[in-house]
Amino acid sequence: MNPPGRSRTPYPPAEPTPWAAGVTVAGLIAMLTAVGVYAFGASLAQVHPLLSLAVNLVAVGGVTPTAWRWHDRPVARWILAGAGAGVLLGWIGLLFMA
């Protein structure tokens, strides 16, 4: 039985989600990631288009397990959301370039 006024969980009550700061961080990370993915993919596509595709898929496949482990951490979730959106925007840019 819990004493009066104590919750059942050992964790402190959750703080409100910092939406303004989080969306700002996610947006900046998305822009930086999109530019990086697009520039790197466009450079590799000049060498060989399949090289660009292969390197992008290997990079995303390698980062995915780490990103999945970090997705529940408060600050890292905003960074990962921005990075994921940036990768998708970079890939869309590369598809329109092709």
The answer to whether residue 25 is domain-embedded is no
SS3 of residue 27 by DSSP: helix
What pLDDT, in 10s, does the model give residues 37-96? Answer: 999 999 999 999 899 999 999 999 999 999 999 888 888 999 999 999 999 999 999 999
Q: Contact, 82 vs 26, CB < 8 A?
A: yes
Q: How many domains does the chain have?
A: 1
Q: Is 46 a member of any domain?
A: yes
Residue 42: its pLDDT value, please?
95
In a domain, 53, yes or no: yes
In angstroms, the Cα distances linking 50 to 7, 55, 56, 76, 89 are 56, 9, 10, 32, 19
Residue 73 domain flag: yes
- Residue 48 CA to residue 38 CA, distance in Å, equals 15
Query: Is 50 inside a domain boundary?
Result: yes
Give the list of residues 6+ apart from residue 33 with CB closer than 8 angstroms, or none.
Answer: 82, 83, 85, 86, 87, 89, 90
Is 77 contained in some domain?
Answer: yes
Task: Find the radius of gyration of the CA atoms of the chain.
Answer: 19
Query: Is residue 23 one of the residues assigned to a domain?
Result: no
Domain that residue 48 falls in: 33-97
What pLDDT score does 11 carry? 62
Residue 6 lies in a domain: no
pTM: 0.79
